[in-house]
């Protein structure tokens, strides 16, 4: 399935990861990492498990703090914000978790209402219902509104997780392994949904993945994290047109003849 | 050794930050009334069957065990006075707190820990919701208000158990029993009970939310958090009981 051409404004940087490093004890995960996300683009971050891809988006959303460097998001320096300022900024950032992270004691409706009623307290009941129904329809799961998360399949949970972030109409979407653990057809559905979100909501997104089919289908640009640094960037072809032994097996495993 | 002291100091700093964060979120609007009511239902109402049985048995057995000592002096008519003071002053708050530590503490510890493991707490944070306000404050407020309510109930049902124990041997009407009970209880006894129940309720809520919120990741972390919530709550309840007894005896 071909990705539609989208408008990317390369003069407008929405995220600038400026020379950051992050370690956990003696383990150096990210070293002097530099990255820019432009307005309207889908940027795919590739890399092996444990290379710090998820750490990167947790740093961007302020869940972790860098040891060194700054993270600029929508004009704010995330690592310098206080709790209240960070909460305000986070309303403009959607985060889709690898395991969906749905609140398992709440129904789908309550999951979707949760961020809405807490961030937009002046909404009426009718307005909340309208928003919930609209966003659920957008991800094609209107019928699941009264179900519990435990009653949903992996793909449905992913969709609801994405819907829950979309309900606040974010400017930026961060996807952590959106296709992990899903069958190929559901992966295609999720990839289409990511593209649909980009077009419909005009979001700029970072997609963390090691699924090259997903990367190829949703990415406008790609970067590859190797040994704690972004060593390769460009289009899919530019990334994999190399003899680098650290990159080749990645491609061979995903697209074996 | 130095590393252990450093870890201990870091832990104290984290507890202090957690407490300050709770106090700030508990008093500042917007308030999560709906969630507080839901937690009160979970903590209070759902504990009633277990609390009823335990309270009744404690009252019944305590009265039965006290009888022989008073019988030696021909003072069994003083049984209602003895059990009422013992139950209201010490047994009701302590029994309620210990049962709640086991039931409510483990529930809160495991729930928050599994939310932590499955990134639900992170999901709240990144959606601009304050998890301290929604998850922590509501549970601590609920335990602090519901444990005193349960404590009054345990006192009542414990006294009723005591009455049944007496009634199996003596010819005593329930009206006469409770008249004697209320004559022997002073306002300071009720104050001591409420003070204990409030302190114990807060402690159970605080300790269990703390260990659940800061649990280690993984399924093992959930089990450890549930266990740590019970152990730390019970341990702190006993320490506080000791301190409150000293404090009340100083006051008179």
The pLDDT of residue A130 is above 90: yes
Residue to mutate among B22, B117, B123, B132, with most A CBs inside 10 A, is B123
Instruction: Determine, for residues A91 and B128 on separate chains, whether the beta-carbon distance falls below 8 Å.
Output: yes
The pLDDT of residue A220 is above 80: yes
Tell me the pLDDT band of B179, cut-offs 50, 70 and 90.
Answer: very high
Q: What's residue B99's pLDDT?
A: 96
Identify whether residues A180 and A246 lie together within a single domain. Answer: yes
Cβ pairs A/B, distance under 8 A: 59
Task: Tell me, yes or no, if A250 comes closer than 8 A to chain B by beta carbon.
Answer: no
pLDDT tens digits along B211-244: 999 998 788 899 999 999 999 999 999 999 999 9
Residue A218: CATH number of its domain: 3.40.50.300
Of the CA atoms within 13 Å of residue B105, those in its CB half-sphere come to: 32
Structure-block tokens of residue A30: 């990210």
Instruction: Determine, for residues B119 and A164 on separate chains, whether the beta-carbon distance falls below 8 Å.
Output: no
Identify whether residues A81 and A176 lie together within a single domain. Answer: yes
Q: What are phi and psi of A104, to 5 degrees?
A: -75, -10
Cα B35 to the center of its chain, rounded Å: 20
Q: In this structure, is residue A199 part of a structural domain? A: no
Residue to mutate among B128, B132, B136, with most A CBs inside 10 A, is B128
The pLDDT of residue A257 is above 60: no
Tell me the pLDDT band of A255, cut-offs 50, 70 and 90.
Answer: low
Identify whether residues A161 and A178 lie together within a single domain. Answer: no
Mean pLDDT, residues B106-110 taken together = 96
- Residues of chain B with pLDDT > 90, as a percent, come to 86
pLDDT tens digits along B61-107: 999 999 998 888 888 889 999 999 999 988 999 999 999 999 999 99
The pLDDT of residue B151 is above 70: yes
Q: In this structure, is residue A99 part of a structural domain? A: no
Give pTM, 2 decimals: 0.90
Identify whether residues A141 and A251 lie together within a single domain. Answer: no
More confident residue, A4 or A129: A129
The pLDDT of residue A256 is above 60: no
DSSP type of residue B32: -
Integer-rounded Cα Rg, in Å, for chain A is: 18
Task: Give the integer Cα–Cα distance in Å for A45 and A53.
Answer: 7
- Write out chain B residues lying below 8 Å of A165, CB-based: 127
- Domain count of the fold of chain B: 1
Q: What is the ipTM of this complex?
A: 0.90
Identify whether residues A176 and A56 lie together within a single domain. Answer: yes
The runs of H, that is alpha helices, within A62-211 are 83-90, 108-119, 125-138, 154-166, 184-201
Range of the domain at B71: 2-251
Structure-block tokens of residue A73: 């998001």
Tell me the pLDDT band of A7, cut-offs 50, 70 and 90.
Answer: confident
- Write out chain A residues lying below 8 Å of B125, CB-based: 63, 90
Q: In this structure, is residue A101 part of a structural domain? A: no
Q: What's residue A1's pLDDT?
A: 61
Q: What's residue A10's pLDDT?
A: 80
Of the CA atoms within 13 Å of residue A110, those in its CB half-sphere come to: 12
The residue of chain A with its CA nearest to that of B115 is: A103
- Residues of chain A with pLDDT > 90, as a percent, come to 72
A24–chain B nearest CA distance, Å:
15
Q: In this structure, is residue A196 part of a structural domain? A: no
* Residue of B144, B121, B117 lying closest to B133 (CA atoms): B121
Q: What's residue B143's pLDDT?
A: 97
Sequence-ordered list of residues with C-beta below 8 angstroms from that of A218, at least 6 positions apart, any chain: A3, A42, A44, A191, A194, A195, A198, A205, A207
Q: In this structure, is residue A230 part of a structural domain? A: yes
Cβ of A147: how many Cβ atoms within 10 Å? Answer: 15
Q: In this structure, is residue A197 part of a structural domain? A: no
Range of the domain at A75: 1-92+170-190+204-257
Sequence-ordered list of residues with C-beta below 8 angstroms from that of B179, at least 6 positions apart, any chain: none
The pLDDT of residue A215 is above 60: yes
Identify whether residues A165 and A181 lie together within a single domain. Answer: no
Q: What's residue B93's pLDDT?
A: 96
A195–chain B nearest CA distance, Å:
21
B97–chain A nearest CA distance, Å:
26
Cβ of A74: how many Cβ atoms within 10 Å? Answer: 15
Q: In this structure, is residue A76 part of a structural domain? A: yes
Identify whether residues A65 and A180 lie together within a single domain. Answer: yes
Tell me the pLDDT band of A228, cut-offs 50, 70 and 90.
Answer: confident
The residue written with tokens 């972790």 in the block is A64
Q: What's residue A2's pLDDT?
A: 66
- Write out chain B residues lying below 8 Å of A103, CB-based: 115, 120, 123
Q: In this structure, is residue A195 part of a structural domain? A: no
**Average pLDDT of chain B?**
94
DSSP type of residue A107: -
Instruction: Determine, for residues A101 and B123 on separate chains, whether the beta-carbon distance falls below 8 Å.
Output: yes
A67–chain B nearest CA distance, Å:
19
pLDDT tens digits along A55-95: 999 999 999 999 999 999 999 999 999 988 999 999 999 99
A122–chain B nearest CA distance, Å:
12
pLDDT tens digits along A132-165: 999 999 999 999 999 999 999 999 999 999 999 9
- Domain count of the fold of chain A: 2
Cβ of B118: how many Cβ atoms within 10 Å? Answer: 20
């Amino acid at each position: 399935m071909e990705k539609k051409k989208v408008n990317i404004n390369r003069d407008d940087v929405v995220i600038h990861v400026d020379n950051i490093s992050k370690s956990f004890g003696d383990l150096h995960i990210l070293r002097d990492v530099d990255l820019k996300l432009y307005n309207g683009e889908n940027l795919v971050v590739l890399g092996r498990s444990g290379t710090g891809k998820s750490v990167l988006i947790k740093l961007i959303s302020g869940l972790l703090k860098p040891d060194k460097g700054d993270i600029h998001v929508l004009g704010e320096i995330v690592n310098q914000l206080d709790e209240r300022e960070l909460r305000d900024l986070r309303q403009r950032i959607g985060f889709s978790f690898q395991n969906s992270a749905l609140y398992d004691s709440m129904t789908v409706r309550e999951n979707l209402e949760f961020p809405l009623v807490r961030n937009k307290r002046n909404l009426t009941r009718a307005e909340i219902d309208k928003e919930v129904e609209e966003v659920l329809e957008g991800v094609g799961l209107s019928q699941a509104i009264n179900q519990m998360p435990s009653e949903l399949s992996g793909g449905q949970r992913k969709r609801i997780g994405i819907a829950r972030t979309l309900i606040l109409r974010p400017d930026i979407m961060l996807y952590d392994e959106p296709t992990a653990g899903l069958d190929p057809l559901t992966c295609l559905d999720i990839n289409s949904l990511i593209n649909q979100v980009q077009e419909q909501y005009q979001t700029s997104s970072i997609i963390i993945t090691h699924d090259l089919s997903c990367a190829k289908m949703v990415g406008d640009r790609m970067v590859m994290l190797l040994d704690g640094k972004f060593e390769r960037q460009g289009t899919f072809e530019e990334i994999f047109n190399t003899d680098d032994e650290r990159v080749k097996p990645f491609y061979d495993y995903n697209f074996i003849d | 050794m130095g590393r252990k002291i450093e870890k201990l100091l870091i832990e104290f700093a984290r507890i202090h930050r957690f407490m300050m964060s709770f106090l700030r979120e508990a008093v500042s609007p917007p308030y999560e009334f709906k969630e507080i009511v839901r937690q009160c239902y979970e903590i209070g109402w759902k504990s009633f069957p277990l609390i009823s049985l335990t309270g009744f048995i404690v009252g019944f057995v305590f009265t039965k065990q006290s009888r022989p000592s008073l019988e030696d002096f021909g003072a069994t008519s003083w049984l209602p006075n003895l059990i009422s003071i013992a139950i209201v002053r010490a047994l009701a708050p302590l029994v309620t707190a210990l049962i709640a530590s086991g039931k409510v503490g483990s529930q809160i510890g495991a729930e928050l820990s599994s939310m932590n493991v499955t990134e639900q707490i992170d999901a709240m944070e990144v959606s601009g919701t304050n998890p301290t306000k929604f998850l922590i404050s509501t549970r601590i407020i609920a335990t602090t208000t519901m444990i005193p309510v349960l404590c009054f109930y345990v006192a009542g049902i414990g006294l009723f158990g005591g009455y049944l124990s007496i009634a199996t041997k003596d010819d005593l009407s329930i009206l006469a029993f409770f008249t004697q009970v209320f004559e022997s209880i002073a306002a300071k006894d009720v104050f001591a009970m409420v003070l204990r129940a409030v302190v114990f309720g807060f402690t159970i809520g605080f300790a269990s939310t703390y260990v659940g919120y800061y649990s280690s990741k993984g399924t093992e972390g959930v089990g450890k958090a549930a266990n740590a919530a019970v152990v730390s709550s019970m341990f702190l309840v006993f320490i506080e009981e000791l301190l409150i007894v000293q404090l009340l005896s100083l006051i008179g």
